[in-house]
Chain A
């Protein structure tokens, strides 16, 4: 059985979380797979196939964003939320908060947050997927998650800045 198959559900989950739209997620997955099969001979067995596939998805997604030259729209967010949390009244509030907070993150922070929190990737793997140094992974992640927390708890965000002056 081809090893790509086992990664498809996760690729689609990531695409869904990134685009927050079923149709766009499937477009993203499709474009990613086409590219992956076209570049199949460039994948070196022994490396992490998952990281390689996610890295292709990242490239394709960046390209799609550039092409559309627009950010994901808040509207489609709410639709996705309504679908996925229907009938879960108890946690509906938290869900809406998290989704709208996620939508307020810059793309670069959202990707890191999703790869770590949702895809459970090691920071090294995220660095590979996004073609950035691991230090950048750490700082983007910390900024993104602190921002999410502040948005969800209704706190002002300026504290972010002082926190990160300490870091560098």
Chain B
């Protein structure tokens, strides 16, 4: 049955109450409401919920925002040295100015870095992210087809897996969930990366037994956060990115759009 013709259901009533139905469907629901007082009552209740929530929480919109919510001396805010020297800001223009400083500091920082580092450093950075891509794709190619032992620690011990790998990588790892995208965790394993460096691999699978893996490791050279890059190695597609001193790669024999979507989900969850 097409979306247009299916019977009116509760999702329609809710979307009708929110004014978020497409026009054709909205007319259909409006007709339906003529003969269904119970549905009318529902729509009214749903609208009432929005009204009540606004009445309840809108007062917080006009309350002044406390100054301490943006402490400039907070270490994680130290994008630029100049910030640490800035006096405690007030809100409004003071904060606007401070934010402008942050943006400026970041872009100037990058320009300076590129200038100072020169071509050798740039090459080394490019090399290390290429290595990340290659390692991740190889690890995927080795373990993803495995039937008996795809992972060392099974998903049913997820809490243990997260704890163990966090300890071995010396980084608090929360294992991303892709349940909303139809993939469940199979489990994970520890892998060697460089001498003295370990990597973690998490494997996910959907109901069609398609798998992708997520690879995480520390990077040797600090690099400015990168956007997603894409590479392929023997049919395995990899989206990879670097966030501060950590490298992430999502690999699979899936189409590029799907991989990108999954990588985006992973990126956001790792950035919790």
Which residues in A have some Cβ–Cβ distance to B below 8 Å?
A: 1-2, 4-5, 8-10, 12-13, 16-17, 25-26, 29-30, 33-35, 37-42, 55, 59-60, 62-63, 66, 84-85, 91, 94-95, 98-99, 113-114, 116-118, 120, 122-123, 131-133, 136, 138-139, 141-142, 145-146, 148-149, 152-153, 163-164, 166-167
Contact = CB atoms under 8 A, between A and B. Distances in A.
B70 to A, nearest CB: 6
B115 interface: no
A84 B60 CA distance: 9
Contacts, number: 146
B9 interface: yes
A122 B100 CA distance: 30
Which 7 pairs between the two chains have the least Cβ-Cβ distance? A2-B99, A63-B272, A117-B50, A142-B11, A118-B53, A149-B45, A9-B61
A121 to B, nearest CB: 10
Given A17-B57, A39-B271, A59-B269, A33 B70 contact: yes
Nearest to B7: A166
B220 interface: no
17 contacts: A1-B96, A5-B95, A9-B60, A12-B63, A29-B69, A38-B76, A38-B79, A40-B106, A66-B174, A98-B49, A117-B18, A123-B20, A131-B268, A141-B11, A146-B42, A163-B10, A167-B11
B66 A26 contact: yes
B268 A10 contact: no
B10 A118 contact: no
Contact of A41 (B11, B15, B59, B106): B106
B102 A37 contact: yes
B14 A2 contact: no
Given A37-B102, A39-B271, A84-B59, 15 more contacts: A9-B61, A17-B56, A30-B70, A41-B106, A42-B227, A59-B271, A98-B53, A113-B49, A117-B49, A118-B54, A131-B269, A133-B181, A142-B10, A149-B45, A167-B9
Given A5-B96, A37-B99, A122-B20, A148 B265 contact: no
A138 B79 contact: no
Contact of A38 (B20, B77, B272): B77
Contacts of B146: none
A139 B180 CA distance: 13
Nearest to A132: B180
A164 B15 CA distance: 15
Interface in B7-57: 7, 9-11, 13-15, 18, 20, 42, 45-46, 49-50, 52-57
B225 interface: yes
Nearest to B102: A37
B116 interface: no
A113 to B, nearest CB: 8
A71 B136 CA distance: 37
Nearest to A164: B10
Interface residues of B, number: 57
B10 A12 contact: no
A161 to B, nearest CB: 11
B178 to A, nearest CB: 10
The residue among A114, A146, A153 with the most chain B CB atoms within 10 A of its own CB is: A146
Given A29-B69, A98-B56, A2 B271 contact: no
Contacts of B77: 34, 37-38
Contact of B272 (A33, A62, A85, A95): A62
Contact of B46 (A9, A95, A149, A166): A149
Interface in B199-218: none
A30 B103 CA distance: 19
Given A59-B269, A62-B272, A30 B11 contact: no
A120 B52 CA distance: 13
A2 B56 contact: no
